[in-house]
Structure 1
Amino acid sequence: MTGVSPAQIAALRERETEIYTKARPKTRAALEQGTHFLDGVPMHWMKDWPQPFPMLVAKAQGANLTDIDGITLDDFCLGDTGSMFGHSPEPVARAIMEQATNGLTYMLPTVAALEVGDLLSRTFGDMRWQIATTATDANRFALRVARAVTGRAKVLVFNGCYHGTIDDAMVVRTDGKTVNRPGLVGQVNDLSQTAVSCEFNDLAMVEEALAQGDIAAILTEPVMTNSCMVLPDAGFHEGLRELATRFGALLIIDETHTISSGLGGYTRVHGLDPDIFVVGKCVAGGMPTAVWGLAPHVAHAFAETEKTRDAGHSGMGTTLSANPMQFACLRATLSEVMTPANYAHMERGAARLVDGLSRAITAAGLPWHAVRVGARVEFICAPEPLRNGAEAAEAHASELEAAVHAALLNRGVLIAPFHNMMLVSPVTTDAQIDRLVAAFTDVTKDLTQ
């Protein structure tokens, strides 16, 4: 289906593994000394890269990353969106240094916090905001609000979605039924009791689920990511808005990846109308931060439910969230980094990238295609645009993609490890984009010889 034989994939992977290993004696020696981390790494997904052993980073600046063997890469992964505006943007680095001498956390707001609230509404729309540390936390809190306001238990998510590690989204649609995702660690609950999985772009399926009357919220990305990119059909988001309103459910838009779409995210660029808005990762320039906002009518409804809630722990909030360092970085990012000029640069570069990848795919005669949403680009090992999570799962060619990733890295280019995502930052140059296209062209030729 991918146009590449297993033998070609295996041969490429073997060659690239040998090249990578020979080039990194310092990294290999350091790792061979052993660590006290579980499975050798501080976070398990650090071993999900296709290399035989992880890189050890010495420095990252702008759109480049250098490992301890002195090898510098053009970075199009950018922390899987966390550093979408480049590594250590100067305004954010300056804000960190200034705040560091004035305290890191004290569970009280600052003047900067007040300014951030205004900046958030100017950037993303009129909302009543709260600060979290990760988008996972923000989505978790948003769902608590939705359930409190509606008095309903379930959330509707889309098959193949990604909303961090909240349990509610860890379901898939199999044989027409919602079931737990395979592979979940220590999962003991039947998640179908609180979640319903539908297919993206299928409004009839969404309507049927909402008609049951037990769904508190629809939780969706504007574009499905982290699963092979799936674009919305024309009218899909308008349909979601109408159905949510008709059946009394709230619409939660999670822009943690699609903030790449333009200033204000996909929601502002395309005029979406969420009841709750969530964004994380790069919103504070790479400082662990997420924000979630309630539309005024939802904020009012939530305030009314708070009047009747029993005294006790709300189950929301974490001690280090809304710390002054987050506000310093949010203010710097929203006012100096997340600018129309920077987004225009990112759009131009991403258009250049997707055109170059598409030309390489055509020249190699491969049944693949490339897709773009704002500054976010992916190549997909399937001939046609995808419409839902089921099609995305079929298009995900893990062995082939791992071989391509490894080959790109040995040619000086880093892309995201979990899928085929590439980001263009405000500091990514045309020369870097052209090097990525040249490397991708070389790899596709290798695969088709």
Structure 2
Amino acid sequence: MNTREGIDWTRAQALAARERQAFADAMPKSRELSARAARHLLFGVPLHWMNDWSTPFSLYVDAARGASFTDVDGHRYADFCLGDTGAMFGHSPPPVARALAAQAERGMTAMLPGEDAAWVGEELARRFGLPYWQFAMTASDANRFALRWARAATGRRKIVIFNGCYHGTVDDVFVDLVDGRAVQRDSLIGQVHDLLDATRVIEFNDLAALEDAVKDGDVACVLAEPAMTNIGMVLPDPDYWRHAQALLRRHGTLLAIDETHTISCGPGGYTKAYGLEPDLFVLGKPVGGGFPCAVYGFSAGLAERAQRAKREAPPGHSGIGTTLTANLLALSAIRATLAEVMTDAAYARMFALAERIEHGLRDAIARHGLAWCVTRVGARTEFQFMPTPPRNGSEAGHQLDAELEQIVHLYLLNRGVLITPFHNMILVCPETSLNDVEKLIAAFDACLGELKS
């Protein structure tokens, strides 16, 4: 696949050099802080992912509020990354900030529940349709714990995942299809166990492959996003999930749905919007309005089997949870987010803005005659370097072009617009303004004009 068709690559490289120099010239304080941090922080940043941006050194944030942030050099940015979904409802939503401040005065963690726990459990059951819930600090942990419960409840060892998936730092899922063969992902450094022993990987939207993967009756669960978002967006075929769920039920295989990104589809996520009936439901970073926490839910039948498995196991630590899990601060943040932030009105505004972005990007791509497409899932939009949306992880992976992505991202950043550094994801929040949307579209259009041959 030629992702650079219609692009003058010599001009693109010159543009990249120009934009890197422009960034460096405008960021003396960020440059100085990067140099200081490099003396004591591994890779020069507190989390090595913070090196994945297109910038020649780290951009340092001074303050973030609503749909924008300012850097330490005083520049303002319209933020369409929003903490890679962690701040999907805006930076520091006032109801969440107030709840955290109030709870901090009353206690942060006790390894005992507070009143918020009962309210949150009721609201999660009402909103998402699964009657029983547990908590975690991150979606990575929630997915990891969900797999443990699924295996414990079914007595089966194997899981099935989709090629190109990402469910946080859960080692079990770092298996790819390469030329039709399952291989452990090369980037998973330090892992000594053979993941292929218990993980099967198939392509998304392939019902025959799904049937073949679970037909032996040894698969505990399928872990999936309802629409793939981490290798570039891949939407399910019409009726794919209806047929897939029926197939899994026939073979006694559980379905675990990870909605950490697809919660962009509405207050009940993709699951409620499209009528899915998972056995396990995971929601991470957005559920606490940016505060570190996650939730995962169980169907009634699975909850009964999971509790029985725990009661029948020998006494001792299970490893399903951590000391700070479901702390008082986290529950206060989740309650405020569910009650006052993740509202129907908020989603209606986000959908309208995302639709404008979708059409604006498509118009710009068409105007410049590029063979790119645009995909949207609720409040989440993405442009992809191929003429039609991908149907599986392999197709989505083939259209990735890190060099081209970084040129576009840095061009936008230097014009006060931030999008996610991983592929080309654009997210809006309730406080995103139409002016910021138009600023994004105009900068994108101008970038294509400079890239085009």
- Normalising by structure 1, what TM-score? 0.99
Give the whole-Å Cα distance in 2 for the aligned partners of 1:82 and 1:183: 24
Partners of 2:216 and 2:411 in 1: CA distance: 49
Query: Which residue matches 1:219?
Result: 223
CA distance in 2, matches of 1:286, 1:236: 32
Q: Which residue of 2 aligns with 1:256?
A: 260
Determine if the alignment matches structure 1 residue 357 to structure 2 residue 361.
Answer: yes
**Alpha-carbon distance, 1:349 to partner:** 0.5
1:446 aligns with 2:450: yes
Q: Which of 31, 44, 49 lines up with 1:28 in the alignment?
A: 31
Secondary structure of the residue aligned to 1:21 is: helix
In the aligned structure 2, how far is the partner of 1:273 from the partner of 1:5?
48
- Contact conserved, 2:8 with 2:452, CA < 8 A, in 1? no
- Aligned twin of 2:128: 124
Matched position secondary structure for 1:256? coil
Q: Which residue of 1 aligns with 2:50?
A: 46
Shift of 1:294: 0.5
**What residue in structure 2 maps to residue 315 of structure 1?**
319
Per the alignment, residue 15 of structure 2 pairs with 12
Give yes or no for the alignment of 1:108 onto 2:129: no
The aligned runs of 1:224-243 (5 Å cut-off) are: 224-243=228-247
How many percent identity over aligned positions? 51
The answer to whether the aligner puts 1:245 opposite 2:249 as a matched pair is yes
CA distance in 1, matches of 2:19, 2:285: 31
Report matched runs for 1:288-299 at 5 Å: 288-299=292-303
Mapped to 1, the partners of 2:218 and 2:433 lie a distance apart of 50
**Do 2:90 and 2:429's aligned partners in 1 also have CA atoms closer than 8 Å?**
yes
Q: What TM-score does the superposition give when structure 2 sets the normalisation length?
A: 0.98
Residue type of the partner of 1:147?
Answer: R
Distance across 1 between alignment mates of 2:212 and 2:180: 12
- Taking the aligned partners of 1:244 and 1:335, their CA distance within structure 2 comes to 34
Partner of 2:403: 399
Q: Does the Cα contact within 8 Å between 1:9 and 1:399 map onto a contact in 2?
A: no
* One-letter amino acid of the counterpart of residue 339, structure 2: S
Give the alignment's Cα RMSD to 1 decimal. 1.0
Checking the alignment, whether the CA contact within 8 Å between 2:289 and 2:337 is kept in structure 1 is yes
- Whole-angstrom CA distance in 2 between matches of 1:74 and 1:378: 17
- 2:218 and 2:17 mapped to 1: Cα distance? 52
Q: Is the 8 A contact 1:35 1:41 kept in 2?
A: no
Q: Which residue of 1 aligns with 2:144?
A: 140
Which residue identity lines up with residue 56 of structure 2 in the other structure? P
Secondary structure at 1:65 match in 2: strand
Shift of 1:212: 2.2
- Per-residue CA distance 1:75-133 (angstroms, 9 max, x = gap): 00000000000000010010011011111111000011111111111221132000100
Answer with 343-352 or 126-135: which moved more: 126-135
| Aligned mates of 2:100, 2:121 — CA distance in 1 | 19
2:45 matches 1:65: no
Q: Residue 75 of structure 1 corresponds to which residue in structure 2?
A: 79
What residue number does 1:302 align with?
A: 306
Match in the other structure for 2:204: 200
Contact persistence 2:9–2:451 (CA under 8 A): no
The equivalent of 1:282 in structure 2 is 286
Unaligned runs of 5+ in 2: none
State the distance in 1 between where 2:88 and 2:135 align.
20
- In structure 1, C-alpha distance between the alignment counterparts of 2:110 and 2:39, rounded to whole Å: 33
For the pair 1:430 / 2:434, whether they are aligned, the reply is yes
Question: What is the Cα deviation at residue 6 of structure 1?
Answer: 3.1
Deviations 1:246-291 (A, max 9, x none): 1111000000000001111000011100000000011010000100
Deviation at 1:177, TM superposition (A): 2.2
- Following TM superposition, by how much is the alpha carbon of 1:310 offset from its aligned partner in structure 2, in angstroms? 1.4
Greater displacement, 252-261 / 172-181 = 172-181
Q: Contact conserved, 1:123 with 1:334, CA < 8 A, in 2?
A: no
Contact between 2:354 and 2:427, CA under 8 Å: does it hold in 1? yes
